[in-house]
Amino acid sequence: MSVSSITDVHARRVWDSRGRPTLEVEVTVGSGAVGRAIAPAGASTGSGEAVDRRDGGDAFGGYDVTKAIAAVNDEISDALIGLDAEDQENADAVLIELDGTPDKNRLGGNAMIAASMAVAHAAAAAAEMPLWRYLGGLAAHTLPLPEIQIFGGGAHAASRVDIQDFMVMAVGAEDYAQTLDWTAEVYRAAGALMSESGLLQGVADEGGFWPAFDSNEAALDMLLRSIERAGFRPGEDVAISLDIAASEFGKDGRYTLGLEKRELDSDGLIEMLLGWVDRYPIVSIEDPLGEDDEDGLIRFTAAAGDKLQIIGDDYLVTNAERVGHAAGVGACNAVLVKPNQVGTLTETRAAFDAARAADWGAVVSARSGETEDVTIVHLAVGWGAYQLKVGSFARSERMAKWNEGLRIADALGDHGQLAASTLFPWGR
Ligand code: PGA
Ligand code: ZN
């Protein structure tokens, strides 16, 4: 038996940042080392995502995961024991075949991603390396530019505003630590402005301020003022990034802005967004149109793709084939990379590689339902991703990830390099 051969797989129920059940998997290998990972959960999910296995019924709003846990402790455990944790592709192929469904509904995407990530952690532990170093080897040196939410809306704030994420990117910062320093000041300034204007109502699912605005543009104005009040030059030091999450308020090319009581077609929404891009220092827009509106995405990319990062999330669902197709037809120029959207690390990596092959951007991302698990930070550094999206600058499920980045930056020392300087203005 080798030091990295899997000897035990165990799942237990733990709780996520929304107080909902999720599962944690521990994989033990021959050396005695243990790898552990927890499945996150989305709220504004794409229809093409791997399906989380939930119990349904009355307990915990139907969100319990006892069946997903049983799947790990029975079938998945039987299938993984004896395999080499260092062979991630093989372990993931075994999981995919065992599940046997296109959307991972039998074992559950949540069971599979926790098991898959725990295998990677166990392999790194057996090699006595942090996961980022195990994945990236000696070449790993890139710290991702954080994309950090200041206001949270859409499905994460009871649709209080239509747009889901109003974020900042500290594009002018010199290193990873400074991106967080600057964001902390912007977040604080935003809180003060909200409080002064009587709009402070607590925080949304990912820790951004709960937006009590009369229009989506009022949120943009407030974000711009927050950057200025914190003492930064908008666009040069700190730029704006949006996740429209348009699938949440649009279908079949019809979009209903609840806040402004307006209905728009694809071209109307595109025109509105292009107007924002003209008036505000916006460098990146995610899901500008619905996941079913490929024509709209192509038109938007043709109109703005040379000056703007256009990220597909619900539309691409971390699927390598979809990324390849979208690059071919000219829809979007970057992909959001969420491991639980596809269900295994190998498939996640394939989507990342497909983006690279197309000369696209790639943003490694958390979900709105998160935990203390910091795997995605290690993936971002280990794979050399240029950007990381984790939610806001509050609540420990978010801060655990930003802080893990600080630890990795410290370990890299002078070798570490923030990906920001070459990233924006849009150049990838
Ligand atoms: P979700 O939101 O985790 O609720 O899907 C994140 C996002 O849309 O980027
Ligand atoms: Zn999104």
What's the pLDDT tens digit per position in 398-407?
A: 999 999 999 9
Tell how far the Cα of 62 is from the centroid of ligand 1, in angstroms: 20
pLDDT (0 to 100) of residue 427? 39
- Report which secondary-structure segment, H or E, holds 92: helix 88-99
| CA 77/CA 122 separation, integer angstroms | 14
Give the Å distances, CA to CA, from 76 to 66, 115, 252, 338, 389.
14, 8, 39, 22, 30
Ligand 1 near 340 CB (within 6 A): no
| CA 76/CA 98 separation, integer angstroms | 8
Mean pLDDT along residues 88-99? 98
Q: Which of 47-61, 202-216, 387-401 has the lowest mean pLDDT?
A: 202-216
| CA 290/CA 251 separation, integer angstroms | 7
Mean pLDDT along residues 303-314? 97
Give the residue from 370, 377, 291, 382 showing the smallest Cα distance to 332: 291
Mean pLDDT along residues 74-85? 98
Going 290 to 295 to 296 to 299, the CA torsion angle's sign is positive
Strand partners, 168: 148, 240
| 338 included as an active-site residue | yes
Q: Is residue 425 predicted with pLDDT exceeding 60?
A: no
Q: What is the pLDDT of residues 347-377, one digit of tens each?
A: 999 999 999 999 999 999 999 999 999 999 9
Q: What is the pLDDT of residues 133-182, one digit of tens each?
A: 999 999 999 999 999 999 999 988 888 899 999 999 999 999 999 999 99
The answer to whether 174 and 361 are in contact (CB under 8 A) is no
Atom of ligand 1 nearest to the CA of 366: 3
- Report which secondary-structure segment, H or E, holds 167: strand 165-169
pTM above 0.95, yes or no: yes
Q: Which top CATH class is 6-128?
A: alpha beta
Query: Do the first three CATH levels of 6-128 and 137-427 match, i.e. the same topology?
Result: no
Going by pLDDT thresholds of 50, 70 and 90, the confidence category of residue 211 is confident
pLDDT (0 to 100) of residue 421? 58
| One CATH from 3.40.50.150, 3.20.20.120, 3.40.50.720, 1.10.3210.10 for 137-427 | 3.20.20.120
**SS3 assignment, position 284:** strand
Delimit the domains of the chain by residue range. 6-128, 137-427
Tell how far the Cα of 51 is from the centroid of ligand 1, in angstroms: 14
Q: What's the mean pLDDT when you consider all of the chain?
A: 96
Q: Is residue 212 predicted with pLDDT exceeding 90?
A: no
| 286 included as an active-site residue | no
CA nearest ligand 1 atom 1, residue = 42
pLDDT (0 to 100) of residue 378? 98
Q: What is the pLDDT of residues 16-32, one digit of tens each?
A: 999 999 999 999 999 99
Ligand 1 near 313 CB (within 6 A): yes
Q: Pick the catalytic residue from 86, 147, 291, 338.
A: 338
